[in-house]
Amino acid sequence: MHVCLGFDTGGTYTDAVLMDMSENKVLQKSKALTTRDDLSVGVRNTMVNFDKELLKNVAMVSLSSTLATNSIVEGKGCRVGLICVGEEFDMSIPVDVHTTISGGHDLIGNEVAELDEASAKKFMASIKGRVDGLAINSYLSIRNPEHELRLKKIAKEVLDVPVVCGHELSSSLGYHERTTTSVMNSRLIPIIKDLMDSVKKVMGEHKIEAPLMIVKGDGSIMNESVALERPIETILSGPAASLIGAKMLTGRNDAIVMDMGGTTTDIGILRNGQPRLEKEGAMIGNRRTRVMAAEISTSGIGGDSRIIVNGSKFMLEPVRVIPLCIAATMWPQLLPRLKVIGETKSGFSPESMDVRNIVQDTEFFIKIKDLDNVHLSKEDKALLDLISDEPFSLKEAGSKLNVHPFSFDVSKMEELGIVYRIGLTPTDLLHAEGKYEEYSKAASNYAVAHQSQKMNMTDKEFVQFAKGKVVDKLAEVLLKKLFFEETNTFDIDTIGLDLMWKAISGLEGLDFGCSIRLNKPLIGIGAPVAAWFPQVAEKFGTELLLPEHSEVGNAVGAVTGSVIESMDILLKPSPGENSLDDPSCILFAPFGRFEFEKLSEAEAFAVKEGSKHVKERAEKAGADLIEVRSEKIEKKIGFGRGYDGHMLIEAIITIMAVGKPRQFTIGK
């Protein structure tokens, strides 16, 4: 028996499976709450009832996670500094401190301005102790990475933090997208390190000495050392694993896969047994990255999404909070306070303020960690002291500390991961309805009673209304994903929006209605799917598959991948030689820029050197029995009718190394 241990650490639950890989059979499975303040607790809790003899035979541990994706969607992560060279960044993603200095290259890799090392050193010295990671991006570094490499060397001497360069993560054009990707990567390094350290800690407790592998966003896997260098590649790790798991659990090669967790719902499509890869880069939170990943749509709607009622206005927000039913189980002192709240009706906050700062009597905050070198007001420091051991609402905290509830900047502390919010969620709706009662039903009932009063509804009416809003939101994100697959755009005009909502709501217009039918089955992955997806499938007249073990589908998918490393190498003919049979050219690769007298020589060099580099990367990622493949795609323009020949614009050589995890090949 070849036993593997698979984990999926989500925003709410950590799943684990023990699988016999020789038969692709689930031997044991388990779920436990993800413990954000100490991830090892949740991982440990999944393994409490596993067969100790089976654990002794574990040959590989593989991990998928939505933590990276969730952190980006929720705007969380560590403090990042950014150095831009030769071009301003559009600041499409927040950066803690940044500077722009002279330097950069042109499209053929020539230096357009001398690198301003003095300014870079001054900036690095000024941010020492103020950032946890540094991103460096030089204009057109994919044509010549020398400026980024020089700054990285300096940074390693000045700063004791991880440093990432844009050219290390992507070889695609798109300066702003590449900069966004590198900033995200820097933000995620401590999050992924914390996750891997937690898993390794529990592995040590069980004396498991097997290698630890991490699922990438394209469904392949890499070992822990590579994951620490390129944590951005773990975005969409959980959803990619769910696609692999959905295929294995159902045997379907063509299907729509919806994976609903606590924080997000992820949607991908299986075609001919494979997830489609997005070569332009994954979209996360409506931001384009330059990370090769399965084409998956991630939306901030999950079992633990934030539900608020401001005045009489209902809102479903893409922020993960701890459900009240779970919180009251963890902190029983909340229950009598919620009972009092359930019997009262509160006012509203101004609609002009940031939605995260809207004060709700049913929302509480708990401190989860300290963070050094963060400036906080005296009010915020006092709040952190108050909520160190038990949760308080802002109204309660304001009363105890004699300050106005709006004085606390909880959204800032929430983004930094210092505090966690507790509030009403779709999970609470299921508890209040009586369909799911794993935790404190009473806590959910009290919150529902409080919010239903504000909307002049009975508790039952409010639950059904709110559940309908959740189902409608799931249907909306599903249709938007399918529209994107058909049109390659997220833009929905006025007519399209009207048709979409007629199809979702089932309501008739003045003269016509609209319905949409899906021509693929819907596979549900995740713990809460049985409560929500039947209504979604019914809206669109499609078959719903909820396979056995679907609640741990991501963990199943985590242990079935291969190690894959790839590299694109660009060859550009020299100016004026495009029409020659074997022109001189320039080669652009992640390992450097080179000039050749003949295209044929450049191609041979690209295959030889590229194969060596991707094989080394695959070996570093934990692969053995590696197969290296190469593919050439040429872009040509013909001279037109009546003329012979063509012009070569460019050639792209893709080198790919594929192997199985090393521990599977020992002794073969």
Least confident of 213-217, 394-398, 420-424: 213-217
What does the pLDDT average to over 398-406? 91
What percent of the chain is helix, strand and coil (3-state, nearest 5)? 40, 25, 35
Question: What distance in Å separates the CA atoms of residue 370 and residue 259, rounded to the nearest whole number?
Answer: 33
Model confidence pLDDT, tens digit, residues 645-665 = 678 899 999 998 887 776 554
Contact by Cβ (8 Å): 39, 195: yes
Among 154-163, 553-562, 635-644, the least confident range = 635-644
- The total number of residues shown for the chain amounts to 668
Is the pTM of the predicted complex or chain greater than 0.85?
A: no
Cα(11)–Cα(318) distance, integer angstroms: 13
The answer to whether the beta carbons of residues 65 and 195 sit under 8 Å apart is yes
- Categorize the per-residue pLDDT at 667 as very low, low, confident or very high, splitting at 50, 70 and 90: very low
Each residue's pLDDT tens digit, 260-310: 988 889 899 998 887 777 766 666 656 666 677 788 888 889 999 999 999
270 SS3 class: strand
563 - beta bridge partners? 659
CA–CA distance, 646 with 528 (Å, rounded to integer): 57
pLDDT in tens, 96-126: 899 999 999 998 889 999 999 999 999 999 9
pLDDT for position 262:
84
Residue 591 has pLDDT above 50, yes or no: yes
pLDDT exceeds 60 at position 641: no
Task: Quick: pLDDT tens for 532-553.
Answer: 999 999 999 999 999 999 989 9
Q: Which one is predicted more confidently, 218 or 470?
A: 470
Q: Which residue has the tokens 């507790």?
A: 422
Does an H or E element contain 19, and which?
strand 13-20
* Percent of the chain clearing pLDDT 70 (strictly above): 93
CA distances from 583 to 67, 202, 564, 651 (A): 48, 58, 33, 12
Q: Are strands 419-423 and 287-288 parallel, antiparallel or unpaired?
A: unpaired
Taking the C-alpha atoms of residue 61 and residue 18, their distance in angstroms, rounded to an integer, is: 10
Tokens of 515: 């319905």
| The pLDDT of residue 662 | 63
pLDDT confidence of residue 39: 85
Give me the chain's average pLDDT, please: 87
Contacts for 275-284: CB closer than 8 Å, 24+ residues apart: 275/218, 275/219, 275/240, 275/243, 275/244, 277/218, 280/172, 281/170, 281/172, 281/174, 281/177, 281/181, 282/217, 282/235, 282/236, 284/69, 284/72, 284/73, 284/184, 284/235, 284/236
Q: pLDDT: is 666 or 563 the higher one?
A: 563
What is the secondary structure of 89-120 as a DSSP string?
Answer: ---SS--SEEEEES--B-TTS-BSS---HHHH
Q: Is residue 633 exposed (0-12), middle (13-18) or buried (19+ Cβ within 10 Å)? A: exposed
Return d(Cα 280, Cα 488) in angstroms, integer: 11
- Percentage of the chain lying above the pLDDT 90 cut: 49
Binned at pLDDT 50, 70 and 90, residue 513 comes out as very high
User: What residue type is 377 in one-letter code?
Assistant: S
What mean pLDDT is predicted for residues 308-329?
92
Residue-level pLDDT at 280 = 67
Tell how strand 585-589 and strand 563-573 pair up: antiparallel
Gap between the Cα atoms of 16 and 554, Å rounded = 9
The stretches of 567-649 forming alpha helices (DSSP H) are 599-620
Q: Any idea where the domains of the chain sit in the sequence?
A: 305-463, 563-664
CA–CA dist 85, 87 (Å, integer): 6
Q: Dump strand ranges (E) for 190-340.
A: 212-215, 221-223, 255-260, 265-271, 274-275, 277-278, 283-284, 287-288, 293-294, 297-299, 305-310, 313-320, 322-323
Q: Which of 37-51, 318-332, 642-656 shows the lowest mean pLDDT across its residues?
A: 642-656
Query: Distance between CA atoms of 137 and 149, rounded to whole angstroms?
Result: 10
Q: Which residues contact 547 (CB under 8 A, 6 or more apart)?
A: 246, 249, 250, 523, 553
Q: Count of CB atoms within 10 A of residue 331's CB? A: 17
How far is Cα 371 from Cα 34, in angstroms, rounded to an integer? 21
pLDDT at 11 over 50: yes
pLDDT single digits (tens) 219-268: 888 888 888 877 777 877 888 888 989 998 999 999 999 999 888 898 99
Range from 3-17, 35-49, 382-396 that averages highest in pLDDT: 382-396
